[in-house]
Amino acid sequence: MTDELLIYGSYGYTGDLVAREAVAEGLTPVLAGRSAEDVERQATDLGLDHRVFSLEHPEVVERRVAEFSAVLNCAGPFSETAEPLYSACLNAGTDYLDIAGEIDVLEAIAGRDAEAEATGVTLLPAVGFDVVPTDCLAGYLARQLESPNRLTLAIDGLGTFSPGTVKSIAEGLTRPGAVRRGGEIRTVPAAWRTRELDFGGGPKTAVTVPWGDVSSAFYTTGIPNIETYATVPEYAATVMAKTGPLASVFGLGPVQEALKTLADAVVSGPTAEERARSESRIWGEVENADGERFAAKMRTPDTYDVTAATAVESARRVVDGDVEPGFHTPASAFGPDYALEFDGVEREDATRRSTVGAGVEGSGP
């Protein structure tokens, strides 16, 4: 007998929000993870069934996921958990979703597109905050100009963090920046480019960061040149650029282990009250070869609340058979207005113009 949905990593901060959202929406997922004590306690609390297994033995993972129509992976860091799960899903004929936002993970999953189509499996990563709203904004912007060849996306207001997010940030310290040029992902220095962007309350300093949209937005829009930004205090841009050479130090095994242990010890994730006070703002712009530009903005609730809502709804639609086999991004699966279906998410057009001031650019590809 095949059950519908397995949530792996359900007892982590974000996974627990997702599991509770699923129950609130009338779903009865099966919960799973490597810690028997944690998953048993959570399953008892929510009145759900559960499984206990690690991702170390491929044959065990494949046997477990084969019981389900779809798996929603909430266990970060996804650089470690995604491949064992989506490979098992491809072998077992089970659809796969996750809430990853890492470029390398998304590119690896996109590379399995032909295999997924051949085996009838849906691969739908990045169904959390990063990248559902930004991906949908990218898809919307791409329709506003004829033949856009440049896309810029920027995020402001990332003020809440869970242990899993901090661990992903720690891994990110080992890597330089990334942009897409001519359809290819190129490595750039940290904080390679700086721009002053207006998210609605006046200009803010934003620097290039390697968000997952460098990967996903390309598959959604076909736009070959993509940059992604996040706001930082003005002094931080200089600090980020100067600490770039330390990436090799941050990448040392003992340093990474210490940073992740520290994340578990001191970061608990935002409370419900803190999430209620938090919001994020997104700015995006497309440009074509004629110099025409079109910009739009989005406003969303807290990133974790958005992730819980979008992950559950995306999984429900996949289980219902609403997404064809193969690799998809959120906007390619559900359309550029998908993000607007969730409470508190708003979009507004910003500007249409033929020229704009250039950003401050450093060395790069």
Would you kindly state where each structural domain of the chain is located, as residue ranges? 3-128+305-333, 132-302+342-361
Across 12-37, average pLDDT: 97
pLDDT at 322 exceeding the cut of 80: yes
Record the tokens describing residue 51, joined without a space.
């499984």
Does residue 81 or residue 363 have the better pLDDT? 81
d(CA 12, CA 75): 7
> Residue 72's closest CA among 316, 264, 277?
316
CATH topology for the 3-128+305-333 domain: Rossmann fold (3.40.50)
Across 36-54, average pLDDT: 98
* Same fold for the pair 3-128+305-333 and 132-302+342-361: no
Looking at the DSSP assignment, which residues form a beta bridge with residue 297? Answer: 283, 348
Looking at the DSSP assignment, which residues form a beta bridge with residue 195? Answer: 206
Across 126-151, average pLDDT: 97
Across 254-267, average pLDDT: 43
d(CA 208, CA 281): 16
Query: What's the confidence (pLDDT) of residue 200?
Result: 87
Query: What's the confidence (pLDDT) of residue 334?
Result: 98
Record the tokens describing residue 214, joined without a space.
């460098």
> Residue 240's closest CA among 171, 179, 173?
173
Residue 60: count of CB within 10 angstroms of its CB: 14
Query: What's the confidence (pLDDT) of residue 323?
Result: 98
Lowest-confidence segment of 16-25, 32-41, 132-141, 242-251 by average pLDDT: 242-251
Query: What's the confidence (pLDDT) of residue 196?
Result: 94
Residue 8 near residue 164, CB atoms below 8 Å: no
Q: How confident is the model at residue 269 (pLDDT cuts 50, 70, 90)?
A: confident
pLDDT at 103 exceeding the cut of 90: yes
The class (CATH top level) of 132-302+342-361 is: alpha beta
Q: How confident is the model at residue 175 (pLDDT cuts 50, 70, 90)?
A: low
d(CA 38, CA 49): 13
Residue 15: count of CB within 10 angstroms of its CB: 29
Which one-letter amino acid corresponds to residue 338?
Answer: Y
Query: What's the confidence (pLDDT) of residue 3?
Result: 74
* DSSP conformational letter for 339: G
> Residue 174's closest CA among 82, 252, 76?
252
- Largest Cα–Cα separation, the chain: 60
Residues making up the chain, counted from first to last: 365
What distances in angstroms separate CA 301 from CA 264, 280, 281, one per listed residue? 25, 6, 9
pTM: 0.86
Query: What's the confidence (pLDDT) of residue 332?
Result: 98
> Residue 314's closest CA among 96, 150, 54?
96
pLDDT at 197 exceeding the cut of 90: yes
Lowest-confidence segment of 45-49, 140-144, 274-278 by average pLDDT: 274-278
Q: What is the mean pLDDT of the chain?
A: 86
d(CA 132, CA 313): 12
Q: How confident is the model at residue 190 (pLDDT cuts 50, 70, 90)?
A: confident
- In a 13 Å sphere around the CA of 261, the CA atoms on its Cβ side amount to 6
Question: In 3-state terms, what secondary structure has residue 350?
Answer: strand
Which one-letter amino acid corresponds to residue 141?
Answer: L
Across 297-304, average pLDDT: 96
Torsion angle of alpha carbons 105, 111, 117, 122, nearest 10°? 10
Lowest-confidence segment of 69-73, 228-232, 259-263 by average pLDDT: 259-263
| Strands 184-188, 225-231: pairing kind | unpaired
